[in-house]
Structure 1
Amino acid sequence: MNILLNITYDTSFGEELVLNLITGREEGSIVTTPYRMHTNDGHVWKCDLNLGLETGTHIDYYYTVVRGETTVVRSEWVVEPHRLELTSMRGGPFVVYDHWLGIPSDSYLYSSAFTDCIRRRRMSPAPLVNYPVTARVKVRAPQLKGRERLVLVGSDLSLGAWNVADGVTMYEHNYNEWVADIDVTRLAGRTFEFKFVAVDVHDPGDLLWEDGMNRRIDLPEMKENQVVVYELDEAFFPIYDVRCAGTQVPVFSLRSRTSFGVGDFGDLKKMVDWISKTQQCVLQLLPINDTTTTHTWTDSYPYSCISIFALHPQYVDLNALPPIEDEAERQRFEALRQELNALPRIDYERVNNAKTEYLQILYGQEGKKVLASAEFKRFFDEAGIWLVPYAQYCYLREKYGTADFSRWPDHNHFDESERKALSGQRNVAFKNVAFYYYVQFILNTQMSEVHDYARAKGVILKGDIPIGVSRYGCDVWQEPRYFNLNGQAGAPPDDFSVNGQNWGFPTYNWDEMLKDGCRWWVRRFSNMAKFFDAYRIDHVLGFFRIWEIPVNAVHGLLGQFSPALGMTREEIEAYGLHFQEELFTEPFITDWVLDRMFGERADMVRQTYLEPTHDGRYRMKEEYNTQRKVEAAFADKTDQDDLNLRDGLYALISDVLFVRDHKDANKFHPRISVQFDFIYESLYDSDKYLFNKIYNDYYYRRNNQFWYREAMNKLPKIVEATRMLVCAEDLGMVPDCVSWVMNELKILSLELQSMPKDPHVRFGVLARNPYRSVCTISSHDTPTLRQWWDEDWTRTQDFFNNVLQKYGAAPHPLPGWLARDIISRHLLCPSMLCILTIQDWMSIDEGLRLADADAERINVPSNPHHYWRYRMHVNIEDLIEGHDFNQNITDLVKESGRM
């Protein structure tokens, strides 16, 4: 099969074009065969292919611009590459005229959220043709609704003579891309004009013509059997942008009449029914990965996963499994289920212990049959790369009584040579871990069924990708080269926490990850695509730079951005600030500081925890000179006075003006939020002015281009790994380069009116939300709408009078009618997605919502040991039957023009 590919592209000196023929996928990454292209004028590039392909097959490919042998300067959008179908029964040759395909501004319409959930059209390859000479027209039309089809109508009689009923039927051979083959011998001439028309298959008289001037093609002289393919610019139809409404709720928070004290995948199907019933189309979840390290309530933190692939056993729907054969055991578990399900909040430990015991009994009863099934073997073949290490990790965690693999007497990291023994069903090693295989098979099967069910209902399941993983999890154990264990990931101070957040996760070794094209991330996202059609990137700022905290620190104040361009002494002094290394980098402890901080306990602090140095200054004693040492010293203290003393010692240790770079001892970073500390207070006003200039340049200007390049080395590979709709949590200390990258990659931003990104306003202006964004009122990390309303009455009054434009005193607590008004305004905003927490939806119904608004809070970010146990107080079955509440939501969605 002879194929001549042409593309017009103006390169710079030293650049060339390469055609990348896609030959398959390995672990989520595209496998290609590259072909160097040639040009005679530096403008039109050509590539001759002679491939042993059969009629009826197709090829997919994309172009890259390279400099030298391997340096890729620019690449096309690989989510939807070029496709050439070899449908001519005469065998060609094919001459193709392509154009460069970058990420389109409407790339979201190519996501599975739209193609597989909202529009759900079936693709159909172009049929075989036997024309003597063929002209093929390809065009992308992503705006079409699910019931619409494309027709080519032209001036020539064979093209319908502008009569749509006689036009040329087009076939959607790839997502949103339509193709039609034209018999050139039937054309009156070599030039023809045409347009594309969208036809409603349910009402063929409902036509929508493409906007703009007629299209025109001038055919070249063509040889017999030749096929000339024209890839045209996207069709444009005056169709309004789709705007969707949705609900956010963690799976663990779901409650049904049949659940076992915690939400499960069976409840998730019921929640999909409620979403569909109320005319919404998005259901957003928190992470559903396994987090089991201690088997205590501290494992309830869903963002500390032990495996980026394994699902949490607590989410198994026991009702979908065969019953336990033993009648007494069955009755015992049913009584326990009813007891746990009646609790107002989750009892994490009892629920998980009970479900694990139940699964172990069922494994003894059904395991052998399940593991012998074709379905399990197929799952094992697909998931083995992560499943085998995960199962062995779980087995060793239980055997040695700790998830800290550094304390295991052996197997301190996964040994790839043991994979074979762990995979053979006759081996003892396999039998040791088979239970974990069984559980993950069930979980994956059930979640896949939920995904299929949601798609059939037209509901987009939106997942959540945690930015970190557990320090003692399977991912670190299996592939430690990808992680830095000498630091902790967190976040700088923000509205959630004045001391910053310390998540305890290891940071990523991006140098190592980039060596293999971020394969770890690509596999992670590819696995997520089995269950979701959209996802939220937790803390997208981490792909630009992560807030890295020393392992000996508890709070986040002593962290620094990594990577970041640290400052030398000379650079600091170039601003005019005399750099006094000891004064600026060691804790600033003096008598007046101690008196201010500890009052009457200052002398005790001096004698117990400090030792004098010089010039009236002190330093921490060796046994207390890090926050971790202080934490250990106060580990058994519960009295509030003791805890206040501990926190004061933490503050002493973090009171420095500059933090030394973690990798280069001769470079420094201004300490975050130091303007609130004593070292800053001690400076002359002139030095404060100079330090603030350094501080602002460092945090808001110095690293922008550097961080932009860092993100563009990582995010494109990850974003283009799947067709899921990409959304990002981009709140916090956001440098300018974040919006550059998100706009370039067409990632949806997160917009909260209570946390505006414009520093000049107190509350965000909803009408200014970009279309490519997710609008919400609260999240799992923030107070609910009702809590926020009563949190700061002065702020609420300002919002009531100046944003809602209402007179008089703001009512407290928040009445349902006013909550409905606030929600209505959010639904009316331009954002593509408006996703509200289930608590905020319920706030509109005073008879349905909880009396205690504080009982609806999911997480308090300032508390690193928060117990994640919020559970809906209403059964989903009752929610579905609640006519008035559901009608209220349906009316709100319809009135806003959302779906």
Structure 2
Amino acid sequence: MKIDFYLRFHTKFGQSLAITGNLPVLGEDEPDKALPMSFLSDELWQVSIEIDPSETETLRYRYIFIDEKGVWEKEAEKERIVEIKKAKHDLLFVDTWNDPSLFENSFYSAPFKEVFFRDRKKLKLKKNNFYTHQFKIKAPLVSPDETVCLLGSSETLGYWNTDTPILLSKKGNWWTVHLEIPASEFAMSYKYGVYNLKTGSFVRFENGDNRILHNDGSVNKKTIIHDGFLRLPVNQWKGTGLAIPVFSLRSNNSFGIGEFNDIKLLVDWADEVGMKMIQLLPINDTSATNTWKDSYPYAAISAFALHPIYINLQKVAGKKGEPIIKTLNKKQKQLNGLAEIDYEQVIHFKINVLHELFDLDNLDFL
């Protein structure tokens, strides 16, 4: 099987591009062994490989940029994955570089994928098995009642008719459609747009110039076009949030300082007032001097250890430690009643109690 890779990316003199992936010919994901690409123009690079599809089920690849000094940088796109074991045709990829600085990449982080955009419905369309071209694009900010559509200058793409655009369906993070396009329709210009499923109407074209697609004249080949991001304003999503240190989350159940358990109260409050995000200042251990100087949350002494000052004594005490905790009510009220946190008093008090609890139940701890 022959696979052609075309990458649309603007380069300057002295810069170059390479491709890496899970195949030996692509360096097996090692950037230093990446396959160099050939310069076609300031906007286009190309490379071809020959593989045995029976030896690999899945092709996974990624592009690398090398500057004038030889310093390399991987693109942000991590989802160029194609099933090739059962492929009966040669493949041609027309890709768009995904720059790590693009704001749209933020919308594919865990908070957006797993929380904010979790319940968005997906339009399911029947796949056309007799296709020559597959168009793929990412559009994180399309609203739940909308889908991505495709229009263009050819008969297959509807001659720019906004009444009957081609609708894309969502698979994973990509919006995609499979089309059979005859060679006579190339070269073609096209654009993506937004279509409202609820009203059954075309909403708008994406921003920017028309996209252009040429045909390389090959037969018995599938062309897969990764068109990057739908060109829409990136300020459509709005969300409020707050950044806060854990030590400031004092509650009635705390011992003079905000604790891990108090984060739950903050989450409940944030949800009640409609906030979307919470950023906690570092919670790593800073116990270097055992004085107030350790209260600075960015002075971590460990990348892994959490600060013991945020431990809730009642939670770690368990049933065996209940008698010890009951004797602390007066001290708890005294610490919670302070107008400001007394860092040194709190940390020394908590460490002493934690030692008591450990001595009481050390065999279970060990």
**Smaller-chain TM-score bracket:** 0.7 to 0.9
Q: Unpaired runs of 5+ in structure 2? A: 24-28
1:263 to 247, 258, 282: 258
Aligned partner of 1:61 in structure 2 is: 62
Q: In the alignment, residue 348 of structure 1 is paired with which amino acid?
A: Y
Worse-matched range after superposition: 134-143 or 213-222: 213-222
Contact kept in structure 2, 1:19 and 1:34, CA below 8 Å: yes
1:375-422 CA distances to partner (integer Å, 9 max, x unpaired)?
A: xxxxxxxxxxxxxxxxxxxxxxxxxxxxxxxxxxxxxxxxxxxxxxxx
Q: What is the CA–CA distance in structure 2 between the aligned matches of 1:278 and 1:312, rounded to whole Å?
A: 29
Which residue identity does 1:34 align to in structure 2?
A: A
- Taking the aligned partners of 2:52 and 2:314, their CA distance within structure 1 comes to 53
How much has 1:207 moved relative to structure 2? 5.5
| Structure 1 letter corresponding to 2:172 | H
- Shift of residue 96, structure 1, vs aligned partner: 1.0
| 1:34 and 2:34 correspond | yes
**Shift, 1:18, TM fit:** 1.9
Name the TM-score, length of structure 1 as normaliser: 0.34
Partner of 1:231: 226
CA contact (8 A) 1:210 1:235 kept: no
2: CA distance between counterparts of 1:241 and 1:154?
A: 26
> CA shift at 1:150, angstroms?
2.8
Change (3 A) 1:326 1:197: same
The equivalent residue for 1:636 is none
Alpha-carbon distance, 1:173 to partner: 3.4
C-alpha spacing 1:72/1:365, structure 2 compared with 1 (3 Å): farther
**What are the residue-to-residue correspondences of 1:310-709 with 2, within 5 Å?**
310-318=305-313, 321=316, 323-360=318-355
Residue aligned with 1:72, SS:
coil
How many angstroms does 1:361 deviate by?
5.7
Q: Is the 8 A contact 1:164 1:197 kept in 2?
A: no
Q: Structure 2 CA distance, aligned partners of 1:131 and 1:58?
A: 20
1:265 aligned counterpart, secondary structure: coil
The normalised TM-score by structure 2 is 0.73
The alignment of Structure 1 onto Structure 2 pairs a total of residues equal to 353
Structure 1 pair 127/340, CA: closer, same or farther in 2 (3 Å)?
farther
Contact 2:240–2:277 (8 Å) recurs in 1: yes
Q: CA deviation at 1:293?
A: 1.9
**How far did residue 291 of structure 1 move?**
0.7
Matched position secondary structure for 1:223: coil
Partner of 2:99: 102
Deviations 1:257-282 (A, max 9, x none): 22222111221222122223223334
Kept in 1: contact 2:76–2:99 (CA 8 A): no
Aligned equivalents of 2:85 and 2:127: distance in 1?
Answer: 5
Structure (1 or 2) with the greater helix fraction: 1
Contact 1:209 1:237 in 2 (8 A): no
Q: 1:279 aligns with which of 274, 280, 299?
A: 274
Distance 1:360 1:147 in 2: 57
Question: How far is 1:234 from its partner?
Answer: 3.6
Structure 1 residue 16 displacement after superposition: 4.1
Q: Quote the Cα distance in structure 2 between the aligned partners of 1:322 and 1:164.
A: 68
Q: What secondary structure is seen at the aligned counterpart in 2 of 1:232?
A: strand
Counterpart residue number, 1:221: 217
The structural deviation recorded for 1:168 is 3.7
Task: For residue 271 of structure 2, give the secondary structure of its aligned residue in structure 1.
Answer: helix
- Aligned partners of 1:160 and 1:166 also within 8 Å: yes
In 1: Cα distance, 2:312 partner to 2:147 partner: 40
Pairwise CA distance, 1:147: 6.4
1:150 to 131, 136, 148: 148
Name the CA distance, whole Å, in 1 between partners of 2:156 and 2:357.
66
Partner of 1:45: 46
The question of whether the paired residues in 1 share the 8 Å contact of 2:168 and 2:177 is answered with no
- Greater strand content: 2
Deviation at 1:331, TM superposition (A): 1.5
Take 1:311 and 1:220, find their aligned partners in 2: how far apart are those partners?
58
Structure 1's 346 and 44: CA in aligned 2 closer, same or farther, altered over 3 A? closer
Alignment match of 2:77 (pick from 69, 80, 103): 80
**CA–CA distance in structure 1, aligned partners of residues 189 and 297 of structure 2:** 58
Map Cα deviations across residues 810-853 of structure 1 (whole Å, 9 max, x no partner). Answer: xxxxxxxxxxxxxxxxxxxxxxxxxxxxxxxxxxxxxxxxxxxx
Instruction: Give the conservation status (yes or no) of the 8 Å contact 2:103–2:234.
Output: no
| Structure 1 counterpart of 2:26 | none
CA distance in 1, matches of 2:5, 2:324: 68
Q: 1: CA distance between counterparts of 2:359 and 2:228?
A: 60
> Could you tell me which residue of structure 2 aligns to residue 5 of structure 1?
5
Contact residue 297 and residue 348 of structure 1 kept, 8 A:
yes
How far did 1:292 drift? Answer: 0.6
Q: Would you say the 8 A contact 2:151–2:166 is kept in 1?
A: yes
Amino acid at match of 1:344: A
Confirm or deny that 1:247 pairs with 2:242: yes
Question: Could you tell me which residue of structure 2 aligns to residue 466 of structure 1?
Answer: none
Structure-2 separation of matches of 1:239 and 1:14: 32
Match of 1:170 in 2: 169
Query: Closer, same or farther in 2 for the Cα pair 1:362/1:20, shift >3 Å?
Result: farther
Closer, same or farther in 2 for the Cα pair 1:271/1:228, shift >3 Å?
Answer: same
Retained in 1: the 8 A contact 2:133–2:179? yes
Equivalent residue letter for 1:140? K
Shift of 1:228: 0.8
* Letter paired with 1:223: V
1:137 equivalent in structure 2 = 135
Return the alpha-carbon distance in structure 1 between the equivalents of residues 164 and 357 of structure 2: 61
Per-residue CA distance 1:699-721 (angstroms, 9 max, x = gap): xxxxxxxxxxxxxxxxxxxxxxx
Match status 1:18 vs 2:18: yes
Max Rg structure: 1
Matched, 1:182 2:178: yes
Identify if the C-alpha distance between structure 1 residues 320 and 326 changes in structure 2 by more than 3 Å, giving closer, same or farther: closer
User: Is the alpha carbon distance of 1:268 and 1:254 closer, same or farther for their aligned partners in structure 2, counting shifts above 3 Å?
Assistant: same
- Give the secondary structure class of the aligned counterpart of 1:18: strand
- The one-letter code sitting in structure 2 at the alignment partner of 1:37 is M
What is the identity, as a one-letter code, of the residue corresponding to 2:60?
I
Please provide the CA RMSD for this pair: 4.4
Quote the offset at 1:289 in angstroms. 1.6
Which runs of 5 or more structure 1 residues have no equivalent in the other structure? 24-29, 371-430, 432-899
Whether the aligned pair in 2 keeps the contact of 1:109 and 1:115 (CA below 8 Å) is: no
Q: CA deviation at 1:252?
A: 0.3
Tell me, in whole angstroms, the C-alpha distance in 1 between the residues paired with 2:266 and 2:340: 19
Secondary structure of 2:327's partner?
helix
Give the C-alpha shift of residue 304 in structure 1.
Answer: 1.9
